[in-house]
């Protein structure tokens, strides 16, 4: 199937979207697009305009999710296939993370229409609200509503740090619609995203097909000692919470490295945040609160790393006299991608003469929620030097077009079932 994906048209859309929330940076191209901001409104307005220009019927749901449907005459009530991603960003993020998936989905529909493809199902182009998180939730907000994991009213009542509710923020930019985009009503879902790692670049392969999206566990860890004078407290009389916490950080690193060496190469473990109290140079630290992030495509491996973390804390209590606590408030299981969707992506790559490579995703994506309620697949385009969430994030335009061609071919296959 010859699908005339336009690299120039795709580039124009992504570069125009990059203007919304653009930030002045010394190198690269950065943008900051937070839910309910003026930049968010402008990005949404441009997307709706482009969807309508392509002849799609646009719908906005109560959580601000944007959907555009291509439904050729005579297609009936068949369940649609859908594709997309998100338009929001982290502060000073790059221009491809999210927007590539949204505009690739739109370009795929345009290419199918221009090739006179006659699908048996409608095709939806989707942009989810607040994938990145940071203002109203920890991430994957719009997709959690679409997948039914979070109620519409519960979502609208989420508040930011200044007490503004999501519903009011969406009202303020004109994107609080009605009803709920229902991911369970889709026959299948695909998401194209930048890889955010270097595996495709190292392999010289233009498109990755995701096998599994990593599971994620966040642990909140506390180490309590005794604050005391840094000058008059002898070394042997100290209960230094930070010294104990430093051992925990290294133990957590060793636990993840051990899983990699054993049988789980995708395992990672990171202590990424520390809050030290009283945090004064002349005071022995009395308390440390830490955040531990554990990820793997194997849930048992994640549990093993957390078990090792708990063993570390028990040892520190015995050897250093500190008191410790560990809770696990955030836990997402690994999400395997559907075989039918993966086969469609590999088949589309074969049809177009574009090499594809199986790989896992080490980051969370909206597809994690969608995969709970319908068949789902993901594909990656290469990231230069693996950089993402940074103005230096870059994916060559030819690679964007190649991945979009595979996406278009897979959508055509799925919509033809």
Bridge partners (DSSP) of residue 207 are 356
Confidence band of 29 (pLDDT split at 50, 70, 90)? very high
Confidence band of 417 (pLDDT split at 50, 70, 90)? confident
DSSP string, 237-271: G---HHHHHHHHHHHHHHHHHHHHHHT-TT-EEEE
Euclidean distance between CA atoms 377 and 107, whole angstroms: 18
Contacts 24+ apart (CB under 8 A), 227-235: 227/277, 227/278, 227/283, 227/284, 227/285, 227/286, 227/287, 228/283, 228/284, 228/286, 229/282, 229/283, 229/284, 230/281, 230/282, 230/283, 230/284, 231/282, 233/284
Phi, psi of 9, rounded to the nearest 5 degrees:
-65, -40
**Predicted pLDDT of residue 2:** 86
As a whole number, the mean pLDDT across the chain is 97
Decide if pLDDT at 74 tops 90: no
Decide if pLDDT at 132 tops 90: yes
Of 258, 240, 337, 242, which Cα lies nearest the Cα of 294? 258
Euclidean distance between CA atoms 393 and 384, whole angstroms: 7
Of 94, 139, 140, which Cα lies nearest the Cα of 388? 94
**Predicted pLDDT of residue 369:** 96
- Per residue in 297-328, pLDDT tens? 999 999 999 999 999 999 999 999 999 999 99
**Predicted pLDDT of residue 248:** 98
- Per residue in 396-407, pLDDT tens? 999 999 999 999
Contact 286, 277 (CB under 8 A): yes
Decide if pLDDT at 256 tops 90: yes
- Per residue in 287-305, pLDDT tens? 999 999 999 999 999 999 9
Q: What are the DSSP E strand ranges found in 166-263?
A: 188-194, 207-213, 215-224, 228-229
- Once rounded to an integer, what is the mean pLDDT over residues 368-378? 98
Prior bond of 278 cis (ω within 30°) = yes
- Once rounded to an integer, what is the mean pLDDT over residues 227-246? 98
- Per residue in 147-205, pLDDT tens? 999 999 999 999 999 999 999 999 999 999 999 999 999 999 999 999 999 999 999 99
Share of the chain above pLDDT 70, in %: 100
**Predicted pLDDT of residue 242:** 98
Of 373, 370, 383, 360, which Cα lies nearest the Cα of 140? 370
Phi, psi of 284, rounded to the nearest 5 degrees:
-65, 125
- Per residue in 97-129, pLDDT tens? 999 999 999 999 999 999 999 999 999 999 999
Contact 176, 64 (CB under 8 A): yes
Which domains are seen in the chain, by residue range?
7-213+334-415 (3.40.630.10), 215-332 (3.30.70.360)
pTM above 0.85, yes or no: yes
Contact 153, 159 (CB under 8 A): no
Task: State the maximum Cα–Cα separation within the chain, in Å, rounded to a whole number.
Answer: 85
Element (H, E) at 66: strand 66-70
């Amino acid at each position: 199937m010859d699908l005339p994906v336009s690299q120039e048209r795709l580039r124009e859309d992504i570069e125009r979207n990059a203007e919304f929330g653009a930030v002045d940076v010394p190198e690269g191209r950065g943008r900051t697009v937070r839910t309910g901001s003026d930049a968010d409104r402008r990005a949404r307005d441009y997307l709706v305009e482009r969807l309508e220009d392509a002849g799609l019927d646009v719908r906005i749901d109560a959580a601000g999710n944007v959907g555009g449907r291509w439904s050729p005459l005579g297609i009936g009530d068949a369940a649609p296939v859908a594709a997309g991603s998100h338009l929001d960003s982290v502060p000073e993020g790059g221009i491809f993370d999210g927007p590539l998936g949204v505009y690739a989905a739109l370009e795929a529909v345009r290419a199918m229409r221009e090739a006179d493809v006659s699908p048996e199902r409608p095709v939806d182009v989707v942009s989810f609200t607040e994938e990145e998180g940071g203002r109203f939730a920890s991430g994957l907000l719009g997709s959690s509503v679409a997948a039914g994991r979070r109620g519409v009213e519960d979502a609208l009542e989420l508040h930011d740090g200044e007490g503004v509710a999501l519903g009011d923020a969406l009202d303020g930019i004109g994107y609080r619609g009605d009803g709920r985009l229902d991911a369970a009503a889709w026959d299948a879902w695909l998401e194209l995203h930048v890889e955010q790692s270097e595996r495709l670049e190292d392999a010289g392969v233009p498109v990755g097909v995701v096998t599994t999206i990593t599971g994620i566990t966040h642990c909140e860890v506390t180490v309590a000692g005794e604050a005391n004078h840094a000058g008059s407290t002898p070394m042997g009389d100290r209960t230094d919470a930070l010294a104990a916490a430093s051992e925990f950080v290294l133990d957590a690193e060793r636990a993840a490295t051990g899983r990699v060496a054993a049988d789980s190469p995708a395992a990672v473990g990171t202590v990424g945040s520390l809050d030290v109290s009283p945090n004064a140079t002349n005071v022995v630290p009395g308390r440390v609160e830490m955040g531990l992030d554990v990820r793997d495509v194997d849930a048992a491996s994640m549990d093993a790393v957390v078990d090792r973390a708990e063993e570390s804390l028990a040892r520190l209590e015995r050897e250093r006299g500190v008191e410790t606590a560990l809770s696990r408030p955030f836990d997402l299981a690994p999400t395997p991608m559907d075989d039918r969707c993966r086969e469609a992506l590999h088949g589309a790559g074969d049809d177009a003469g574009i090499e594809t490579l199986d790989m896992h995703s080490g980051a969370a994506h909206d597809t994690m929620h969608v995969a709970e309620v319908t068949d789902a697949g993901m594909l990656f385009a290469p990231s230069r030097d693996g950089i993402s969430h940074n103005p230096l994030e870059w994916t060559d335009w030819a690679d964007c077009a190649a991945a979009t061609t595979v996406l278009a071919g897979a959508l055509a296959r799925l919509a033809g079932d």
